[in-house]
Structure 1
């Protein structure tokens, strides 16, 4: 009788594990061109209404791995970050993989680079050789973003906004002196709002962008996705995807 109960329990656990592995992963993202963006230009989109380098890579990755998923783009970043962190079966992309975040998620990637830069209007006299020299200036950054968190830790106290592209207009309107953003994301966002004459005054950090999955997502799902990405890298799919957008 005891053996039967043990076998039954093992069967139930095995079934539960398989069920979890086959449940759709809920993927969340934001407008972060050229990596992920709503085709409509709005702050909400689903599935085929989302494109960009990372969106295309993630979509192909799940297809090759045979893992079901849904994809939603919404706003703001802090909300979708917390949702992916706290909800089993969720994931968020793209996210800079930082030491303080390492144990909070399971990671698939890298999906692409994200160099951190300080931008100024083209005619600005500001010239910097170190990040500490920027302390005397008003620096705009994106609330909840890794760049903003890094600047705060360095004692620079950035001025935060809920939409990173708003920093482009604040910069040219003189509301901030510098804009801390990613490259190529910052320039891409600026062009979207009609701002093109910017210069890089400092390149201060480099990061790699990943798909971050909730810790409850099964390891076998994470491994399948990573293997699919490596295959995409080796057969040229990743390179071709970057070439379409840049």
Structure 2
């Protein structure tokens, strides 16, 4: 009986040791697995995000973002969406980075702000065939129908000031549509950035000689950022912060080069 008990005890100890080894082995494998690819979302918005002659994503902001992730040794994948969808993904999904995102008071608590990329400024634009449209204040702008891009800070800001959809505010899904709406008299004003307008001049856009800026929106003169969703890994944020501190002297934040 004693001999049988010793044999059963030995088998039990062997089983426990094997199970413990298997458990530790699984932990090692899990620890060594490469992390999933991080998703970075954006839109095409010259000159900050463009498709270059090689068919790759480039631009004043995109080049900095790629450099930051490369320097941080973070595996990532950039996906281009309409801006409203990119914004919603970064607002609701974990481990999503987004650029170029204007940093405003309304958005401050909605994202983690990783690194400034470029400064930007916005103005109201009118059709050159409508010199009668005059704006000297935001209050005067309420007298006109204005088109803005969905998901952009300009739309959020004007809504907060009391502009009303279908009354004096029209929402579009991209910047190209804004210019078409203005040129074809579907709206009276649009909101564009000065750098985007300058990129139209360089690309000989068919709209560029038909529109002009008439009033700057000072509140929207701010920095564009690389940001992330709130539930993004702090380790990723810290690694990118460290890379930014090391690379910042190389960055032209005015984005005039």
Q: Is TM (by shorter chain) over 0.5?
A: yes
Confirm or deny that 1:115 pairs with 2:121. yes
Confirm or deny that 1:201 pairs with 2:208. no
- Structure that is richer in helix per residue: 1
Confirm or deny that 1:88 pairs with 2:100. no
Confirm or deny that 1:165 pairs with 2:176. yes
Distance 1:241 1:156 in 2: 30
8 Å contact 2:200–2:208 — kept in the other structure?
Answer: no
Question: What is the count of residue pairs matched by the alignment?
Answer: 226
Distance 1:148 1:114 in 2: 16
Change (3 A) 1:116 1:240: closer
Distance 1:153 1:211 in 2: 24
Greater gyration radius: 2
Alignment partner of 2:83 out of 59, 77, 87:
77
Pairwise CA distance, 1:82: 1.4
Structure 2, unpaired ranges of 5+: 1-19
Corresponding residue for residue 133 of structure 1 = 140
**TM-score after normalising by structure 2:** 0.76
Pairwise CA distance, 1:209: 0.9
Pairwise CA distance, 1:223: 2.1
Deviating 4+ runs (over 6 angstroms) = none
Change (3 A) 1:240 1:80: closer
1:63-74 alignment runs, 5 A limit: 63-74=70-81
Pairwise CA distance, 1:243: 4.8
Distance 1:132 1:241 in 2: 30
Change (3 A) 1:162 1:193: farther
Distance 1:101 1:192 in 2: 34
What secondary structure sits across from 1:101 in the alignment? coil
Pairwise CA distance, 1:48: 6.7
Corresponding residue for residue 38 of structure 1 = 51
